[in-house]
A = this chain, B = another copy of it.
Amino acid sequence: MSSFCAKVFPTEPQAPSVKSAIPGPKSKDTVTDIEKHFEAKAAYFVGDYSKSIGNYIVDADGNTLLDLYMQIASIPLGYNNPAIIEAAGSKEMINALVNRPATGNFPSADFDSQIQRLVKYAPHGFPYVWTALSGSDANEWAFKTAFLWQADQDRNYAAFTKEEESSSMINSVPGCPVRSILSFRQSFHGRTFGALSTTRSKPIHKLDIPAFDWPTAPFPALTYPLEEHQKENDEEEQRCLKELEETIIAWKTKSPVAAVVVEPVQSEGGDNHASPKFFQGIRDITKKHRVLFIVDEVQTGVGATGHFWAHEAWNLTSPPDMMTFSKKAQTAGFFYGNPELWPRQPYRNFNTWIGDPAHIIIAGKIFEYVSENNLTASVQRVGKYIKEGLLKFQEAGHISRLRGVGTFIAFDLPTPEARDQFTAGARALGVNIGGCGVRSVRLRPCLLFEEKHADIFLDVVSKLFSK
């Protein structure tokens, strides 16, 4: 099979090359230097990105690692992809960086073209976009949009009352209403105060930070292999949907749910999947109760699941109301279909920059590249190959709950300690890989990861389990 990746990256290494412990002495020294001015307790190693290429990350000590983590799932087309280098060095980019506009007041003459490059690849039914700076930021915009829309529905677009205006200034009802966003247990939606109030993956993210009193519903805990547990998994999903609807009803008097937000695959929370039927259930329940449905594709978006947007695989009877994106888009924001979601007055959803044209230019190039090179098809093919390769380790009892769509694949080790040993062991053998949940390993290669890379990864897995 001819390698698209080899054409794009003719100088990509053939294999990892590990010369030192990871982190090595130069990585450690650099982190020590960084920590004189910046907090870096979570640093694994220091990246030498000018030398990294394609699927391989080079670190400060000259170690070359096959990267299946790709900056926490955020580099879509490999390191130093020539198409992105070209976009980054363009005149349009320099203009965007040097003259960063206050887009809401003085949009750039280039802006219409820039956002068209995004909406061209939006999911079906989403002609509108709102741009943001991070996944958290995108989710907060979507939540705010939901709250504004719900209130406008309630007042039938009447003018604000004096009482609403004055009470809003003291953060009090009726101007600042008691309303909520419902998220699922184990979910991760970001770290700013609104987004963090919906994040439910781990205490370390939430401890000591005030949060809104917002509801949750259970996310299905499927039993694997799926084909052997169809009935019980279906019952599990129905149980979760029942509790979702009961919670929406119960909170109507306490703190009405403005929107339900869900990840197509709960990522930080452990790579938890559900069936299209489950998501259709959310769509039906939210419609029934005039609750908006937000799909958080911050981690799943832009190809890695084998679809451009993961939720496109659900074939819903009607699209979600909003879909947020970030990470592999290298910019952030949300797509939406109904222009009525936008308030009728200016300055309700507004800030100085509203996104970043520099990164929008990169995103437009990424979206075009993924589409024109049909990368979702190769992701499906390679994902199947990886799963088949991992199956034998599952059959041998080394791993469990092998799961995934496209190359968005995960499996479990017996314990959290075994998982941490696995990821550290893989790094020592030249494969950079991430964990999630309690004892899961998650694969997040870029979209140019191919069978030859999978072979190297599978060989390392084999070595780790034959020790």
Contact = CB atoms under 8 A, between A and B. Distances in A.
Contacts of A338: none
Interface in A31-59: 31, 33-34, 36-50, 52, 57
A352 to B, nearest CB: 5
Given A39-B130, A97-B358, A213-B171, A206 B109 contact: no
A395 B379 CA distance: 72
B353 A134 contact: yes
Size band of the interface chain A makes with B: 35 or more
Interface stretch (A193-201, A400-408, A414-422): A193-201
B178 A104 contact: no
**Which secondary structure dominates where chain A touches chain B?**
loop
A200 B99 CA distance: 30
Nearest to A100: B330
Interface in A135-163: 135-137, 140, 143-144, 147-148, 150-152, 160
A119 interface: yes
A397 interface: no
Contact of A98 (B42, B88, B177, B190): B88
A84 interface: yes
A194 B193 contact: yes
B48 A75 contact: no
A213 B74 contact: no
A462 interface: no
Contact of A347 (B42, B110, B193): B42
A322 to B, nearest CB: 13
Q: How many copies does the complex hold?
A: 2
A50 B46 CA distance: 37
Contact of A71 (B101, B150, B178): B101
A388 B399 CA distance: 77
A107 B43 contact: yes
Given A80-B98, A197-B193, A346-B41, A209 B144 contact: yes
A89 interface: yes
Interface of A: 30-31, 33-34, 36-50, 52, 57, 60, 71-72, 74-75, 79-81, 84-85, 88-89, 91, 93-95, 97-102, 104-112, 115-116, 119, 127-131, 133-137, 140, 143-144, 147-148, 150-152, 160, 164-166, 168-172, 175-180, 185, 190-195, 197, 200, 203-214, 216, 326-327, 330, 342, 345-353, 356, 358-359, 362
